Amino acid sequence: MRRVYFDNNATTPVLPEVFEAMQPYFGEYFGNASSIHHHGQETRAAVERARESVAALLGCRPSEVVFTSGGTEGDNLAIFGLAQAGDHVVTSTIEHHAVLNSCKHLEAAGCEVTYVPVDDRCLVDPDDVRRALRPNTKLITIMMANNETGVLQPVEEIAKVAAEADVYFHSDGVQAAGKVPIDVMRIGCDLLSISGHKMHAPQGVGALYVRKGTILQPMLYGGSHERSRRAGTENVPGIVGLGKAAELAREALERGDLAKMGAVRDRIQQTLLGAVEATGVNGDGAPRVPNTTNMYFDYIEGEALVIALDLKGLAVSTGAACSSGAIEPSHVLTAMGLRPDRARASLRFSLGKQNTPEDVEFALGVVPSTVARLRELSPVYNKTAVSH
Amino acid sequence: MLDSHTIAVAMSGGVDSSTVAAMLRAEGHTVVGLTMQLWNQRRLAGHPGMPEAVQGRCCSLDDVYDARRVAETLGFPYYVVNHEESFERDVVRPFVEEYLSGRTPIPCSLCNNHLKFDELLVVARQIGADALATGHYARVEFDEQRGRWLLKRPADLSKDQTYFLFGLTQEQLSRTLFPLGGLTKPEVRELARRHGLALAEKPDSQEICFVPGGDYKHFLDAYLAEQGESLPDTAGELVTSDGQVIGEHAGIHNFTVGQRKGLGIATGSPLYVLQIKGDTREVVVGNQDELYSRTLRARRVNLIAVEELREPMRVAVKIRHRHEPGPAILEASGDDEVLVTFDQPQRAITPGQAAVFYDGDTVVGGGWIT
């Protein structure tokens, strides 16, 4: 059966070049990067080369890159590394759970948190962030790109708000890295987390940009790895993979590959809007990363559509999966003010570098007919049809 | 079967539904496993009287894990679908309200009517399945003469679940498969073993899935507290059948018709709950003999074997899950209401429970006792 993967915001396949770069570090080069002998020196050099590559992608100094196990750890390290009991933190209602649940935990631990809303295009208003500031505000943490809608937040303006108030600004850049250029100097943020597996590196590796001079309370205690900001023997193959993926991402951005991907995404959107009635784009009109579109198909349950499409070979997603694998209503779409039924009727298509024009044709062929079958069997759709 | 169909199997993670999946797969059907996520056990964990840790059997991660393992072992796709919102609306809320108005509800029938054979069947058809199979012990067959789908008692009468299935419509029955209808439980376990299912020895679940330990009173308290509501004051008087007040009680939801213990009254002869009056909050008590009655009325009737009740019909009527059906006359007594007159008086006919009518092994229909 032909299988097409349009869920690249969940995870991406490791690119062949990345896999190839990693392979020697499972056997030939196996040293502990902290060891003083030859074996350690080889892997130390590889880790530092990767650090340079990630720094080049983010526009920072290599010494400002801390390798982590992924986006969740980066977000946690930034938040718990800075906020202490009595501090106030500003975040938004559309953050990833790695940030939202960290903030909930902060509240339980004696911090105050303000969750600024978004408008119907999924955008945070920097003025709302400014108004949320208090004398004890320590940190603003607002994502660069939303994982469900792909909407890019006005992080440069938020960084100005933070700088004026002398407050730390962390941005979850997991869904932006590799999809849009990131320059932490231009943005003006103090911390920014990225994840390897969202940009064709393996799962289990990520990085946190920490502006020079920022004192972070570590979350893991042990050796003095990563300048004592993150103890634990380095995941050398993963870090090498992230370094290679960062290099490829930079090249792709320079070549204009992502603009092309944006054109493909737009074509998918336009074709589906034309082929299926009562359909629309969530976050339409806002700047978005070029690989993502989130569309609603009224009168259906997104969950059933995801299953039906999977059985036909197309992998897409809706909402966020809970521990059992069931879909929970999307807090992002709800925060944008979508009606609950429309939030449940929404689907995310997210493209990756590996997708081909044939993949796109396949998806465009299978989605309209599947939506039609679901609607035909939907009690809501039939009731609505009768009442018209 | 010769032609292969796509069949969705409602999987609970138990031995019955897992064996159904294995049987259908072995017959060459394309199987898709579906588990409904209905209730989040963590919601009420830690409330007074509720377990600290999650240990209920409903939608536990262990059960999903077991179902997923079966799907993986047998090689078919498996999905968990979230129906928590409608389960709360259509099953949990009515369950709470029934108790608070002095009735004794059966959530399993509501779940079958509104969730399993309604919403899940819709999902099954939407994803391309022709039918939905479940691990219920019951049989469904088409009667050419009557032109109707029939619901029948299973081979293993000790496992008979037709009492909870009386609400199924003709449309639902036409798309439902009960592959265990001809098997006994030991045979099902043996089949599970033969198909190499690791859960062949998993114990049966008995209690109401979302009420841990079966303590519904604690559940009512915890649920209402979570909703920011408090248990309404349903305290009132204990009266005898001739209207004499003999004491007070703390709330009608603590009682079930036929209950003897917990009345808080010391008298010479044992007293039983005869009736719970939701409007006046009176709990009527009396002796054992007064518990017996020959008639009942049932509403919201669903007829399966016949299209309508044109004339009185001889049937056997079951008034609770563990009740030996009693011979009776069934007749229409109003719009969507029937009157059942038993040959012999029956003990503790309980409002809120279902009355299910049988003609031999065939379910004629059923309704809710008023």
Tell me which chain B residues have a C-beta less than 8 angstroms from the C-beta of A334: none
CA distance A379 to chain B (A): 8
Lowest-pLDDT range of A112-126, A267-281, B53-67, B108-122 = B53-67
Mean pLDDT of chain A: 95
Could you tell me the two tokens for A342? 């429309």
Instruction: Please say if the pLDDT value at position A198 is more than 90.
Output: yes
- Kindly state the average pLDDT of the residues A197-201: 98
Instruction: Please say if the pLDDT value at position B264 is more than 70.
Output: no
The verdict on a CB contact (< 8 Å) between B81 and A304 is yes
Could you tell me the two tokens for B296? 């009942």
The verdict on a CB contact (< 8 Å) between B37 and A324 is yes
Tell me which chain B residues have a C-beta less than 8 angstroms from the C-beta of A379: 122
Tell me which chain A residues have a C-beta less than 8 angstroms from the C-beta of B128: 308, 311, 373
- For A198, half-sphere exposure in the C-beta direction (CA atoms, 13 angstrom radius) is 28
For chain A, say whether B171 makes contact (Cβ under 8 Å).
no
| Amino acid symbol at B220 | L
Q: Which domains does chain B have, with CATH numbers?
A: 6-135+179-216 (3.40.50.620), 234-286 (2.30.30.280), 292-369 (2.40.30.10)
Rounded to whole angstroms, the Cα distance separating A29 from A38 reads 10
Instruction: Count A/B contacts: CB-CB distance under 8 Å.
Output: 56
CA distance B174 to chain A (A): 16
Instruction: Please say if the pLDDT value at position A382 is more than 80.
Output: no
Tell me which chain A residues have a C-beta less than 8 angstroms from the C-beta of B175: none
Q: Which of A300, A324, A366 to mutate to test the interface with B (most CBs of B within 10 A)?
A: A324
Sorted by sequence, the CB contacts under 8 Å of residue A260 that are 6+ apart come out as none
Instruction: Please say if the pLDDT value at position A304 is more than 90.
Output: yes
Indicate the pLDDT class of residue B49, thresholds 50, 70 and 90: confident
For chain A, say whether B80 makes contact (Cβ under 8 Å).
yes
Helix axes B216-226, B93-100, angle to 10 degrees: 110
Are the C-beta atoms of residues A70 and A204 closer than 8 Å to each other? yes
Q: Residue B77 carries which DSSP code?
A: -
Query: Complex ipTM above 0.90?
Result: no
Of A304, A322, A324, the CB nearest to B127: A304
Q: What is the CA A162 to chain-centroid distance, rounded?
A: 22
Identify the CATH class of A16-253: alpha beta
Domains A4-12+256-387 and A16-253 in one fold: no
Of B37, B68, B128, the CB nearest to A308: B128
Tell me which chain A residues have a C-beta less than 8 angstroms from the C-beta of B68: 325
Which residue does chain A place closest to B42, by CA atoms? A323
Are the C-beta atoms of residues B342 and B322 closer than 8 Å to each other? no
Beta strands in chain A (DSSP E): 4-5, 65-68, 88-92, 112-116, 137-141, 168-172, 191-195, 206-210, 279-281, 292-297, 314-315, 320-321, 327-328, 346-350
Of B32, B82, B122, the CB nearest to A327: B82
Instruction: Please say if the pLDDT value at position B270 is more than 90.
Output: no
- For B246, half-sphere exposure in the C-beta direction (CA atoms, 13 angstrom radius) is 18
Choose among B160, B119, B137, B169: nearest CA to B301: B169
Tell me which chain B residues have a C-beta less than 8 angstroms from the C-beta of A300: 126
What is the predicted pLDDT for the residue at B2?
38
- Kindly state the average pLDDT of the residues B213-241: 88
What is the predicted pLDDT for the residue at B231?
82
Q: Which of B31, B63, B82 to mutate to test the interface with A (most CBs of A within 10 A)?
A: B82
Phi, psi values for residue B60, rounded to 5°: -75, 155
Rounded to whole angstroms, the Cα distance separating B280 from B296 reads 21
Per-residue buried b or exposed e for B203-224, using 16+ beta carbons within 10 Å of the residue's own CB? eeeeebbbbbeeebebbbbbbb
Active site residue B111: yes
Active site residue ranges of A: 322
Choose among B193, B192, B292, B226: nearest CA to B45: B226
Annotated domain spans of chain A: 4-12+256-387, 16-253
Indicate the pLDDT class of residue B62, thresholds 50, 70 and 90: confident
Of B64, B79, B84, the CB nearest to A307: B79
Q: Torsion-angle region of residue A349: left (phi > 0), alpha (psi -120 to 50) or beta?
A: beta
Enter the pTM of the model.
Answer: 0.91
For chain A, say whether B123 makes contact (Cβ under 8 Å).
yes
For chain A, say whether B126 makes contact (Cβ under 8 Å).
yes
Rounded to whole angstroms, the Cα distance separating B370 from B367 reads 9
pLDDT digits (tens, 9 = 90+) for B160-181: 999 999 999 999 999 999 999 9
The verdict on a CB contact (< 8 Å) between B37 and A307 is no
pLDDT digits (tens, 9 = 90+) for A88-121: 999 999 999 999 999 999 999 999 999 999 999 9
What is the predicted pLDDT for the residue at B50?
78
Rounded to whole angstroms, the Cα distance separating A21 from A200 reads 13
The CATH number of A4-12+256-387 is: 3.90.1150.10
What is the predicted pLDDT for the residue at B56?
47
- Beta strand A279-281 with A206-210 is unpaired
Tell me which chain B residues have a C-beta less than 8 angstroms from the C-beta of A327: 81-82
Mean pLDDT of chain B: 91
Instruction: Please say if the pLDDT value at position B55 is more than 60.
Output: no
CA distance A224 to chain B (A): 38
Could you tell me the two tokens for B153? 């008692």
Q: Residue B203 carries which DSSP code?
A: P
Q: Which of residues 249-268 of B touch A (CB under 8 A)?
A: none
Which residue does chain A place closest to B40, by CA atoms? A324
For chain A, say whether B332 makes contact (Cβ under 8 Å).
no
Are the C-beta atoms of residues B261 and B273 closer than 8 Å to each other? no
Could you tell me the two tokens for A348? 């995310």
Choose among B40, B82, B79: nearest CA to B61: B40
State the Cα angle at B241 between B237 and B243, rounded to 5°: 55
Which residue does chain B place closest to A325, by CA atoms? B80
Indicate the pLDDT class of residue B1, thresholds 50, 70 and 90: very low
Are the C-beta atoms of residues A325 and A184 closer than 8 Å to each other? no
- Name the more confident of B264 and A226: A226
Count of residues for chain B?
Answer: 370
The verdict on a CB contact (< 8 Å) between A325 and B64 is yes
Are the C-beta atoms of residues B178 and B137 closer than 8 Å to each other? yes
The verdict on a CB contact (< 8 Å) between A325 and B77 is no
- Name the more confident of B56 and A199: A199
Indicate the pLDDT class of residue B212, thresholds 50, 70 and 90: confident
- For A231, half-sphere exposure in the C-beta direction (CA atoms, 13 angstrom radius) is 8
Q: Which long-range contacts (CB under 8 A, 24 or more apart) does A285-289 make?
A: A285/A121, A286/A121, A286/A122, A286/A123, A286/A149, A286/A151, A286/A152, A287/A151, A287/A152, A288/A145, A288/A149, A288/A150, A288/A151, A288/A152, A289/A145, A289/A150, A289/A152, A289/A175, A289/A176, A289/A179, A289/A180
The verdict on a CB contact (< 8 Å) between B126 and A326 is no
Tell me which chain A residues have a C-beta less than 8 angstroms from the C-beta of B79: 307, 310, 325
The verdict on a CB contact (< 8 Å) between A307 and B82 is no
The verdict on a CB contact (< 8 Å) between A308 and B122 is no
Instruction: Please say if the pLDDT value at position A388 is more than 50.
Output: no
Could you tell me the two tokens for B336? 């969507």
Could you tell me the two tokens for B189? 């376990």
Q: Which of B60, B126, B132 to mutate to test the interface with A (most CBs of A within 10 A)?
A: B126
What is the predicted pLDDT for the residue at A385?
56
Indicate the pLDDT class of residue A79, thresholds 50, 70 and 90: very high
The verdict on a CB contact (< 8 Å) between B122 and A378 is yes
Tell me which chain A residues have a C-beta less than 8 angstroms from the C-beta of B126: 300-301, 304-305, 308, 373-374, 377-378
The verdict on a CB contact (< 8 Å) between B126 and A308 is yes
